[in-house]
């Protein structure tokens, strides 16, 4: 069997890190070149896309995709981490808002919003992770960042309030919960979190981590999603045989030579004569537009 290359979707359980998932797949496949797309904290469960082999080249691309989360929120409690695992910093005295009040407040966050990243995050300040500063009791000023809440639904189950959030990259759901609490005037923190989709990949395609203990390399291969699916929305560029060979060897081809239409930065799906999938990108050189390989898989 040739070395595996593709996307494997794991359903990460609560209580383990994303790196544990990577370690499990390395043990099963014997492949070191494995990376995940978008860390899930130990508190969170759900969809964790894992790139295997040459597919790791596209990790950053998949991280840019929208995500969907389901979170429960604890009203009346504030913590230093903005989730239930942190130290309690404030408790609300008195009656808590109703579900209707919670729902109305939550839905005001739909659209593009400013969000201040939490101190307990992997973002860096002067080369140091904020979470490391936070653990030393240091708080630094963070600039607000623009994120987009595409849609937000609320529901109640057994007296617990939930959010279903479709959001852009970089959105912190625990910060969203804390901000909803501030808007309500009672404070809040995130009590649980599950990611149900990343881009086009959802929990229906995922393999529970515990099942991986029994998997063989062949079974992993059967579940692999071809890397091409990530780029299905790109138009296909078909090169004449002569230019296709040059392209496959790293040459950039002037697009007017094979009637390709596009502008600088446009990307295309290109398959080499040997059947190798690539992503091509148009660049400019001395006033001429050229197509060259951005990524080989």
113 and 213 housed in the same domain:
no
15 and 45 housed in the same domain:
yes
Structural domain count of the chain: 3
pLDDT band at 61; cut points 50, 70, 90: confident
Q: Is residue 26 part of a domain?
A: yes
Q: Is residue 220 part of a domain?
A: yes
Q: Beta 67-75 vs 160-167: how paired, if at all?
A: antiparallel
58 and 205 housed in the same domain:
yes
Reading the block at residue 104, the tokens are 């109305």
211 and 129 housed in the same domain:
no
User: What's the CATH code of the domain at 261?
Assistant: 2.30.130.10
* Closest CA relative to residue 6, chosen from 226, 220, 218, 205: 226
Q: Is residue 1 part of a domain?
A: no
| Mean pLDDT in residue range 233-238 | 94
CA 144 to chain centre: 20
User: What's the CATH code of the domain at 207?
Assistant: 3.30.2350.10
Inter-CA distances, 170 with 115, 119, 196, 250, 280, Å: 9, 14, 16, 34, 27
Q: Is residue 259 part of a domain?
A: yes
Give 142-183 pLDDT, tens digit per residue. 889 999 999 999 999 999 999 999 999 999 999 999 999 999
pLDDT for residue 1 = 57
pLDDT for residue 130 = 76
- The neighbour count for residue 65, using CB atoms within 10 Å, is 17
Task: Kindly name the residue from 11, 41, 83, 266 that is annotated as catalytic.
Answer: 41
pLDDT for residue 45 = 98
Give 177-215 pLDDT, tens digit per residue. 999 999 999 999 999 999 999 999 999 999 999 999 899
As to burial, measured by CB atoms within 10 angstroms (0-12 exposed, 13-18 middle, 19+ buried), residue 133 is middle
The residue segments making up the domain with residue 279 are: 234-296
pLDDT for residue 127 = 79
19 and 93 housed in the same domain:
no
206 and 59 housed in the same domain:
yes
* Of 214, 230, 246, the domain-final residue: 230
Per this entry, what is the length of the chain? 297
Distance separating alpha carbons of residues 271 and 296, to the nearest angstrom: 10
Q: What is the DSSP letter of 57?
A: G
Distance separating alpha carbons of residues 178 and 120, to the nearest angstrom: 13
Q: Is residue 92 part of a domain?
A: yes
128 and 188 housed in the same domain:
yes
Q: Is residue 267 part of a domain?
A: yes
Residue 91 scores a pLDDT above 90: yes
Residue 128 scores a pLDDT above 90: no
Active site residue 66: no
- Name every residue whose Cβ is closer than 8 Å to that of residue 109 and which is 6 or more positions away in sequence: 149, 152, 176, 179, 180
């Amino acid at each position: 069997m040739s070395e595996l290359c593709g996307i494997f979707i794991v359903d990460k359980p609560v209580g383990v890190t994303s790196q544990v998932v990577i370690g499990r797949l390395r043990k099963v496949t014997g492949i070191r070149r494995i990376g995940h797309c978008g860390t899930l904290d130990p508190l969170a469960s759900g969809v964790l896309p894992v790139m295997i082999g040459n597919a790791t080249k596209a990790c950053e691309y998949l991280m840019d995709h929208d995500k969907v989360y389901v979170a429960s929120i604890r009203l009346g409690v504030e913590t230093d981490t903005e989730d239930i695992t942190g130290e309690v910093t404030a408790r609300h005295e008195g009656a808590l808002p109703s579900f209707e009040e919670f729902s109305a407040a939550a839905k005001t966050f739909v659209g593009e919003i400013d969000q201040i990243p939490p101190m307990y995050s992997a973002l860096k300040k002067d080369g140091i992770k904020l979470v490391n500063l936070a653990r030393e009791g240091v708080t630094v000023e963070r600039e607000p960042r623009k994120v987009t809440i595409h849609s937000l639904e609320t529901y109640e189950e057994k007296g617990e309030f939930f959010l279903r959030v479709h959001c852009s990259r970089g959105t912190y759901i625990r910060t969203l919960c804390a901000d909803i609490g501030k808007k309500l005037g009672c404070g809040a923190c995130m009590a649980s979190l599950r990611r149900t989709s990343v881009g086009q990949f959802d929990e229906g395609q995922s393999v529970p981590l515990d099942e991986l203990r029994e998997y063989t390399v062949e079974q992993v291969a059967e579940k692999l999603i071809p890397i091409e699916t990530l780029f299905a929305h790109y138009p296909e560029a078909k090169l004449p045989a002569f230019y296709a060979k040059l392209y496959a060897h790293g040459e950039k081809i002037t697009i007017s030579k094979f009637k390709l239409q596009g502008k600088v930065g446009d990307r295309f799906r290109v398959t080499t004569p040997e059947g190798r999938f690539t992503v091509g990108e148009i660049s400019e050189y001395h006033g001429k537009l050229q197509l060259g390989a951005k990524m080989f898989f």
